[in-house]
Structure 1
Amino acid sequence: MMQNIIKSMLEELDAMLSGHFIPYYKVSLGLAAIVSLVFSIVLSHGAVFEGKIAVIDLDGSNYSTELISKVNTSPYIEVTEVIRSPVNPITLVSHDRNLGVLYIPKGLEKSLKKGEQTVRLGYFADDTNDAQNAKVLQSLNEYIPELGAELSVGKIAALGLGKEGIEATLSPMQLKTRYLFNPASSSTISTIIYFVYFFSSLTYGLTSLMIIGRLKVTGMWQMAIERGFLSLLARTIPYALFYTTALTLITAILVIFGQLRFEGNYFAFVPSVFMTGLAFGWLAFLLSWTTKNPGEGAGRMIFLVPPGFIMGGSTMAVGIMPIWTYYISHAFPLVWLFRFFRDFAMRGRSLIDMLATYGAYIIYLTVIAFVVMMFVERVKKTANAS
């Protein structure tokens, strides 16, 4: 048994080094390095630091001009154009021209001086991408009330209240936000590392999806089946080791050079990467089981890696998914890897805290291995019957 497992692993290493198939030992390291470098440069900011907005100023007063100037100097906002006549805001955000449009109604200055009613400014947000407007909306929601409060200070001061009393009257309750895991909005902590894991998983998934077809084309399929399901599963171990090595190396480089914060123990995180490598390989066997050549298996990539990237919390909030979708998403290995990364790297959870999740992941791998065993036994029975 052990001899067959070792033979299967060595055969996969020979295939990698032969030059006739994907040289995964090179691709795994090279792609991870390239992706981390390119996206670190392209996505140097994790947030829109100068969110461009247009302003429709129907008041045209001295105060509205002053207001626009103050908004333009506030954090995360850049006023690109001021329109002093009614216009459809859609035209101002088309072609990614602006992230949104601030609307200043007519009679702003007059209403503020009288102080008879609250003046409501409008903001038309281009929500084709919610993330783009996050900092702009946050800044406007904080800054506009502050500017409005400045106008009321003189009136309230006449009541004889002290500084603290004036502040309490103008703003009886405030909300202060503290960002727990990424206060600097660093892309390396979230977006870039997700891309590194995603593209590394794509190449590994592509390689593993071609194994079954390669065994059939090279005439080794029957021998692989006769050795048993454990020997077949063991063929993914060399690839999983290179997959783990590549991600570990790139992560270490990012941490050493201060581009990535890893709060937990990386050695406690490593098993999850290796287990993800096994999961990708074993699922690839099931997906490509009926294929007759490597190219046919590669065509089934869409079912292996991308769903985990989409539903793993890298492109959208996990909380917006229905509960049944959340549970089904764990059928994809990348969802598990992203979950482990967030808990270990960003939240700093310990190995003890993650034992339950590791246990669930082991059960997940056991189920996949059991299904592979059933497939192998069925092929054996068919061969013996014929």
Structure 2
Amino acid sequence: MQNIVKSMVEELEAMFSGHFIPYYKVAMGMAAMVALVFSILLSHGVVFEGKIAVIDLDGSHYSTELITQINTSPFIQVTEVVRSPINPIVLVSHDRNLGVLYIPKGLEKSIKKGDKSVRLGYFVDDTNDAQNAKISQNLNEIIPELGAEFSVGRVSALAQGREATEAILSPMQLKSRSLFNPTSAATLSPIIYFVYFFSSITYGLTSLMIIGRLKVTGLWQATLARGPLALMCRVLPYTLFYTTALTLISAIFILFGQLRFDGNYFAYLPSVFMTGLAFGWMAMLLAWKTTNPGEGASKMILLVPPGFILGGSTMAVGFLPTWAFYLSHAFPLVWQYRFYRDFAMRGRSLVDMLATYGAYIIFLTVVAFVLMMVFNQTKNKQQTA
């Protein structure tokens, strides 16, 4: 415990010494600056084979055929069909699907009778607008086209009143509704994503330079003597500032009504802290063989940007093959964006997120284990040298 405390105190002294990055200032300043700049710049803010779920309350032969035809379209893949009422948020949580198609009861009866138009619903997971562009476009083309097949034989019978005429010409319509960001407010998606990205950049640079700094300041041998746990705890001060900065900026947005956070922030908070640990420990692994802080900082391209690209922040990720989707979770920012979308925008509870938390803990455990193995291997080599 004494070694752990010494290591943390040394990091705090380095942080406040004026000779290295003053991370306590950078953490707060970067988050605030990015929030301000992008709030001003962004006043508002293509997936092939996009995955959707279907709530089929009709359960008829026609609804089954309709689902099959939608599934065979070039841009849409139906992943699951539910035959009972269910909250569509459940079906899009954890990035399972990009939207939910709702088929009302009585579809086949109304279509064949032709007395009124049937309005299907599409619940859009607009946590990332780019994901649903092709899906919405193609559903709006496919649904009327499939419904028109029933109209061909009845076009001559138009003198049946307005509703009946509309039903013949357009027996089936699609009405879309955005689930989470109907006003396309940039604060809910691009701005907050940029806040996390640039905050992670500054933290990543700081943590990538720890190993090189220990070597150039003559503390490397003492670090090896204290053990791996003492080294790993060096990132705790930075992680606390990282978590505090992001929480403070989020709180300001929420208080001023610019950010909707539907879930429990205290249930979400551990994910931010865990991401800080993941960045710190992975940075140490990436910079393990570096000899100076600048060499460690050069590894940044391998730590933060891949998670920003693959995390579904500003680009669609639905096109990723299955292996690439799972491989993307090697980057901490991918985990953080998933937690943010589920907690903040979809309003999931802690119970709903226990499985994701469990997977993240396993990920952190693996990273910590690898770091301890590398540490012990280095220590044993120096002892035998």
Give the equivalent residue in structure 1 for 2:332: 333
Give the equivalent residue in structure 2 for 1:200: 199
- The Cα of 1:291 is off from its aligned counterpart by 0.2
Identify if the C-alpha distance between structure 1 residues 245 and 259 changes in structure 2 by more than 3 Å, giving closer, same or farther: same
- The Cα of 1:132 is off from its aligned counterpart by 12
Give the equivalent residue in structure 1 for 2:382: 383
Q: State which structure, 1 or 2, has the greater radius of gyration over its C-alpha atoms.
A: 1
Q: Residues of 2 paired with 1:340 and 1:158: CA distance?
A: 55
Give the equivalent residue in structure 2 for 1:366: 365
- The Cα of 1:318 is off from its aligned counterpart by 2.5
Runs of 5+ consecutive residues of structure 2 not aligned to the other structure: 46-128, 145-154
Q: Is 1:266–2:293 an aligned residue pair?
A: no
Q: Residues of 2 paired with 1:268 and 1:132: CA distance?
A: 27
Residue identity in the other structure for 2:229? L
Give the equivalent residue in structure 2 for 1:85: none
- The Cα of 1:192 is off from its aligned counterpart by 0.8
Give the equivalent residue in structure 2 for 1:23: 22
Q: Secondary structure at the match of 2:275?
A: helix
* More deviation, 351-360/375-384: 375-384
Q: Is the 8 A contact 1:5 1:234 kept in 2?
A: yes
Give the equivalent residue in structure 1 for 2:313: 314
Q: Residues of 2 paired with 1:354 and 1:366: CA distance?
A: 18
- The Cα of 1:163 is off from its aligned counterpart by 1.8
Identify if the C-alpha distance between structure 1 residues 184 and 377 changes in structure 2 by more than 3 Å, giving closer, same or farther: same
Q: Residues of 2 paired with 1:157 and 1:197: CA distance?
A: 60
Identify if the C-alpha distance between structure 1 residues 325 and 134 changes in structure 2 by more than 3 Å, giving closer, same or farther: closer
Q: Spell out, residue by residue over 1:303-330, the C-alpha distance to the aligned partner (whole angstroms, 9 max, x if none).
A: 0000000001113223210100011101
Give the equivalent residue in structure 1 for 2:290: 291
Q: Is the 8 A contact 1:209 1:284 kept in 2?
A: yes
- The Cα of 1:134 is off from its aligned counterpart by 5.0
Q: Residues of 2 paired with 1:163 and 1:298: CA distance?
A: 69
- The Cα of 1:382 is off from its aligned counterpart by 1.4
Q: Spell out, residue by residue over 1:198-251, the C-alpha distance to the aligned partner (whole angstroms, 9 max, x if none).
A: 000000000000000000000001101110000000000000000000000000
Identify if the C-alpha distance between structure 1 residues 133 and 309 changes in structure 2 by more than 3 Å, giving closer, same or farther: closer
Q: Residues of 1 paired with 2:229 and 2:319: CA distance?
A: 39
Q: Residues of 2 paired with 1:161 and 1:276: CA distance?
A: 63
- The Cα of 1:375 is off from its aligned counterpart by 1.3
Residue identity in the other structure for 2:166? E
Q: Is the 8 A contact 1:263 1:347 kept in 2?
A: yes
Q: Residues of 1 paired with 2:240 and 2:313: CA distance?
A: 24
Q: Secondary structure at the match of 2:173?
A: coil
What percentage of aligned pairs have identical amino acids? 72
Give the equivalent residue in structure 1 for 2:97: none
Within a 5 Å distance, the mapping from 1:72-151 to structure 2 comes to 131=130
Give the equivalent residue in structure 2 for 1:249: 248
- The Cα of 1:252 is off from its aligned counterpart by 0.6
Identify if the C-alpha distance between structure 1 residues 337 and 132 changes in structure 2 by more than 3 Å, giving closer, same or farther: closer
Q: Is the 8 A contact 2:15 2:21 kept in 1?
A: yes
Could you say what the CA RMSD is over the residues aligned between the two structures, in angstroms? 2.3
Q: Is the 8 A contact 2:131 2:318 kept in 1?
A: no
Residue identity in the other structure for 1:285? M
Q: Is the 8 A contact 1:261 1:345 kept in 2?
A: yes
Q: Is the 8 A contact 1:213 1:296 kept in 2?
A: yes
Q: Residues of 1 paired with 2:294 and 2:201: CA distance?
A: 15
Give the equivalent residue in structure 1 for 2:276: 277
Q: Residues of 2 paired with 1:208 and 1:224: CA distance?
A: 15
Aligned length in residues: 289
What TM-score does the superposition give when structure 2 sets the normalisation length?
0.72
Runs of 5+ consecutive residues of structure 1 not aligned to the other structure: 47-129, 146-155
Give the equivalent residue in structure 1 for 2:212: 213
Q: Spell out, residue by residue over 1:259-309, the C-alpha distance to the aligned partner (whole angstroms, 9 max, x if none).
A: 111010000000000000000000000000000000000001000000000
Q: Is the 8 A contact 2:261 2:345 kept in 1?
A: yes
Give the equivalent residue in structure 1 for 2:74: none
Q: Is 1:38–2:37 an aligned residue pair?
A: yes
- The Cα of 1:44 is off from its aligned counterpart by 0.5
Q: Residues of 1 paired with 2:36 and 2:285: CA distance?
A: 34
Q: Residues of 2 paired with 1:314 and 1:267: CA distance?
A: 22
Give the equivalent residue in structure 1 for 2:350: 351
* More deviation, 313-322/21-30: 313-322
- The Cα of 1:172 is off from its aligned counterpart by 1.0
Residue identity in the other structure for 1:321? L
- The Cα of 1:158 is off from its aligned counterpart by 9.5
Q: Is the 8 A contact 1:157 1:166 kept in 2?
A: no
